Amino acid sequence: DIQMTQSPSSLSASVGDRVTITCRASQSISNYLNWYQQEPGKAPKLLIYAASSLQSGVPSRFSGSGSVTDFTLTISSLQPEDFATYYCQQTYSTPYTFGQGTKLAIK
């Protein structure tokens, strides 16, 4: 199985901050990397697919980059609704593993 490691596991930030979350794959996954946001009590929501493509309807303050094994999710200016847990997922090969999640909290 491909292991996905996110960092940090949690972070505190303020509204307006720029935040970066990283995700590392245990082997090359090309650009088969997706990012999801999960608010408490809700289903995950797709933010970024194919490492850097913004899903329709997602605000442009979200962006993704990277390839091969190292990827980042950046939120350019945090909004109150962005405080949630973020997961990366590889869909390069089954099983389609997720990272352990990054919980973004209000400072």
Residues contributing to the site for another protein (CB under 8 A): 1, 32, 34, 36, 38, 43-46, 49, 55, 87, 89, 91-92, 94-101
Residue nearer to another protein on the CB measure, 19 or 102: 102
As a whole number of Å, the CA-based R_g of the chain is 13
| Distances, alpha carbon 65 to alpha carbons 7, 47, 49, 51, 61, in Å | 15, 13, 10, 6, 13
Residue nearer to another protein on the CB measure, 17 or 96: 96
Beta carbon of residue 24, minimum distance to another protein (angstroms, whole number): 16
Beta carbon of residue 34, minimum distance to another protein (angstroms, whole number): 4
Residue nearer to another protein on the CB measure, 19 or 33: 33
- Tell me which long-range contacts 40-49 makes (C-beta under 8 A, separation of at least 24): 40/84, 44/87, 47/73, 47/86, 48/73
